[in-house]
């Protein structure tokens, strides 16, 4: 049975982008 890491479920959003 494959096991997936928790952080693969939520988006990685980089807050340092300006805008």
Partner 1 sequence: PAPAPCNPSHFMKGAIIQLATGELKRVEDLQTQDFVRSAEVSGGLKIDSSLVMDIRGSQQRPGLVSLHFTVGEQQSKVTIDVPPEHPFFVFGQGWSSCSPERTAQLYGLACHHLQVGDMCVSITLQQQP
Separation of alpha carbons 2 and 12, rounded Å: 22
Separation of alpha carbons 19 and 16, rounded Å: 9
Minimum separation from the CB atom of position 18 to partner 1 (A): 7
Angle, CA of 18, 15 and 7, to the nearest 5°: 150
Size of residue set near partner 1 by CB under 8 A: 19
Show the site string, 1-19: x = touches partner 1 by CB under 8 A, - = not.
xxxxxxxxxxxxxxxxxxx
Minimum separation from the CB atom of position 15 to partner 1 (A): 4
Which chain residues interact with partner 1 by CB under 8 A?
1-19
């Amino acid at each position: 049975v494959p096991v997936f890491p928790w952080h693969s479920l939520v988006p990685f959003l980089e807050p340092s982008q300006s805008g």
